[in-house]
Amino acid sequence: MARLSLSKIEKVYPNGFKAVHGVDLEVKDGEFMVFVGPSGCAKSTLLRMIAGLESITGGELRIGDRPVNALPPKQRGIAMVFQNYALYPHMKVYDNLAFGLKLAGTPKAELDQRVRHAAALLEMEHLLDRYPKQLSGGQAQRVAVGRAIVKKPDVFLFDEPLSNLDAKLRAAMRVRLTELHRTLRDSHQPATTIYVTHDQVEAMTMGERICVLKDGVIQQVDTPTALYDRPANAFVAGFIGSPEMNLLAARLVGTDGIGGAPLAVEVGGVRLPLPADKAAGLGGLPRIADGAVTFGLRPEHIGIVARAQGDSVAAPARLRFTEHMGSELYLHADLGPLPVTARVPAEQASALAGLSRGDALTLHLQMSACHLFDATSGVNLLSHAGASASSPASSTGSAPGSMPSSPRASQGFFA
């Protein structure tokens, strides 16, 4: 069992490119941590530094209580599964699983016990006698995971292990890997895991906590729910969730007196009154030049019928097109000049009958669920320090430019 601690970790590649910028992160013993972010954000670089496959330029890495910066991969107690797992083609599955243990001189009885235990965990006892070419893609990937399990590592590292599988198999493997992790942990076996993916669905469904990266900088470390409900900035807000959160250029307008809270947000020429708590949340912030903000609203918070709760605001829009997803449809419309997406339950689709492209319709925006981000820095203006309470203090996910913890005296919103 092992926890993992990254302190001010940096990576400068030999060509001078700085790929990782001062990453601070604690992964708890037994935790399933996901690294997610767009291509090139340094997910693999970080993972390879943890594995010892890439040198660490700055900072300290600890596994358990040991600083391991200088240790070779073999002495770090880790096992890694890649996207391109190479099985030995001339060896049966059993021998593929046993190979590393044989090299390490593991006694035959223990080797056999470990191989069969891993095969049982992955429900592949019936595959032990096959050659890799006799396996499906998903089965071969299970063997690759099995090779990691037989090593009994302190930490499992996965780098996009499911990317080569088709969508259906990916979904099945996702569940299998998550269950495997919980099984290992529940039976007090080493289970600390870092799982790299660029797929936010994988991140949300598998991760106990998720570390969102961009350009080698941590944007936020939090539980899936906290990331979804309280994104630290517009980047995280747009990256987590499908379809994406609507992020629209907007302006805060009107105040409830000199230096007071804004009354509304103007989006695409439409004035949307702000709920009192949102307005109050902005009230103590330093002024925002021209009131310019980014307005964020998830597609499920935009509807075509008014909400019974009475917290929706009607806004005129024009239909662009719809995508039918079965139980719901994605409605694409223009709010003034700004494209927005709404998620509409299929049973409400009849309200759209007879409408074609360019026709007027009314959207109902659930303002109690809206987010406001700084137009320049992207920082969430409403999630003040401490709002992200579910994030343990140890998750030093340094949200860049995060809000000052003691808001300065308000000077009104307009420079």
Segment interacting with Mg ion, rule: CB under 5 A, options 37-45, 63-71, 220-228, 235-243? 37-45
Q: Is 391 in the site for Mg ion (CB under 5 A)?
A: no
Evaluate whether 282 touches 252 at the Cβ level (below 8 Å): yes
Segment interacting with Mg ion, rule: CB under 5 A, options 43-51, 203-211, 224-232, 367-375? 43-51
The pattern of x and - marking residues 9 through 28 that bind ligand ATP according to CB under 6 A reads ----x-x-x-x---------
Segment interacting with Mg ion, rule: CB under 5 A, options 42-50, 221-229, 269-277, 403-411? 42-50
CB-nearer residue toward Mg ion: 5 or 44? 44
Evaluate whether 160 touches 198 at the Cβ level (below 8 Å): yes
Choose, by CB under 6 A, the member of 25, 27, 34, 41 that binds ligand ATP: 41
Segment interacting with Mg ion, rule: CB under 5 A, options 40-48, 50-58, 234-242, 303-311? 40-48
Distance (Å, rounded) from C-alpha 285 to C-alpha 9? 32
| DSSP state at residue 131 | -
CB-nearer residue toward ligand ATP: 35 or 94? 35
In the bound state, the residue with its beta carbon closest to Mg ion is 44
Q: Is 42 in the site for ligand ATP (CB under 6 A)?
A: yes
* Residues in contact with 65: Cβ distance below 8 Å, sequence separation at least 6, in sequence order: none
Segment interacting with Mg ion, rule: CB under 5 A, options 41-49, 145-153, 367-375, 386-394? 41-49
Closest CA to 209 of 188, 187, 186, 193: 193
Q: Is 43 in the site for ligand ATP (CB under 6 A)?
A: yes
SS3 330: strand
SS3 204: helix
Q: Is 56 in the site for ligand ATP (CB under 6 A)?
A: no
Distance (Å, rounded) from C-alpha 166 to C-alpha 160? 13
Minimum gap (Å) between residue 398 Cβ and ligand ATP: 18
CB-nearer residue toward ligand ATP: 39 or 187? 39
Distance (Å, rounded) from C-alpha 114 to C-alpha 363? 59
Segment interacting with ligand ATP, rule: CB under 6 A, options 32-40, 186-194, 309-317, 406-414? 32-40
Minimum gap (Å) between residue 177 Cβ and ligand ATP: 18
Looking at residue 260, its amino acid is: G
Tell which positions 44-103 bind Mg ion, by CB under 5 A.
Answer: 44
The pattern of x and - marking residues 185 through 224 that bind ligand ATP according to CB under 6 A reads -------------x--------------------------
CB-nearer residue toward Mg ion: 215 or 300? 215
User: 121-128: long-range contacts at Cβ-Cβ below 8 A with a sequence spacing of 24 or more?
Assistant: 121/146, 121/149, 121/180, 121/183, 121/184, 122/146, 122/149, 122/176, 122/180, 124/93, 127/93, 128/92, 128/93, 128/94, 128/97
Torsion from C-alpha of 155, 161, 162, 165, nearest 10 degrees:
-150
Evaluate whether 185 touches 197 at the Cβ level (below 8 Å): no
Rounded CA Rg of the chain: 25
Minimum gap (Å) between residue 17 Cβ and ligand ATP: 4
Burial status of residue 129 (CB atoms within 10 A of its CB: 0-12, 13-18, 19 or more): exposed
Copy the structure tokens of residue 193: 């895991």
Pairing of strands 58-63, 4-12: antiparallel
Minimum gap (Å) between residue 45 Cβ and ligand ATP: 3
Distance (Å, rounded) from C-alpha 414 to C-alpha 258? 11
CB-nearer residue toward ligand ATP: 36 or 93? 36
Minimum gap (Å) between residue 16 Cβ and ligand ATP: 8
Q: Which does 41 bind (CB under 5 to 8 A by kind): ligand ATP, Mg ion, none?
A: ligand ATP
Q: What sign for the dihedral angle of Cα 112, 113, 119, 123?
A: positive
Asked if the peptide bond before residue 299 counts as cis, ω within 30 degrees of 0, the response is: no
Total number of residues that touch ligand ATP (CB under 6 A): 13
Q: Is 40 in the site for ligand ATP (CB under 6 A)?
A: yes
Segment interacting with ligand ATP, rule: CB under 6 A, options 35-43, 104-112, 326-334, 363-371? 35-43
Minimum gap (Å) between residue 42 Cβ and ligand ATP: 4
Residues near ligand ATP (CB under 6 A) are 13, 15, 17, 19, 37, 39-45, 198
Give the binding site for Mg ion (CB under 5 A).
44
